Structure 1
């Protein structure tokens, strides 16, 4: 699993002009799922995201997690994170999991994030054409890959 994590002061996702998910201070997470991903990847990545110390403390040092900052999470599925651009100019998405594998993993990831965060998260809609807006706070952007955890 690949996650692009952005610390935001606000973020929204719209589908067909309607707001589907919206947060204030928190994390907007783009999640890419590949065929080889499983429960171990979900558990590791969820815990890393909610414990990632990228929110400022009283001295303006990035030393607090989203749990401590009392922030929210907006999770967006994004298969294009697994694009291969080695050959030619048209990306290949061969590593991205097909919906029959990716959807159950995405839903399980939502459950883990909600459990680890201790409250519901906001989401987009798997496979939908989404319009995502955000104000990146910092800017702070972190990329995590569960296959590179060692």
Structure 2
């Protein structure tokens, strides 16, 4: 979804006259048609503003987490609500470090568990062979 306010270079608090002037200045015909349809009808603008607020909040959250779009999504309509990633040391980096520590612990546990299982199997085989030898040979 396009951020019509950003693309028309106006604020969401703009008055109807400001919006009409921005639409008139717009050189992009599809954008001009979309903006006229959405922003000049009061009920459509109210619905768009509610969605705009939600998408802006998601964009701020993604930035604080350090998430960005892949290069092929940048500079298009999908990137309208994205902000640059947060500063170094953001919560995203902290969460990634915690996730990496958990993955390393899990992998160590799997290796350890496999080792214990193999040792138990070997001991059971050895004990079975000793027991068999004990009962078969007098």
Per the normalisation by structure 2, the TM-score is: 0.25
Q: Tell which has more relative contact order, 1 or 2 (C-alpha 8 A, sep 6+).
A: 1
More helix by share: 2
Per the normalisation by structure 1, the TM-score is: 0.23
More strand by share: 1
Look at both structures and tell me which one has the larger radius of gyration over its CA atoms: 2
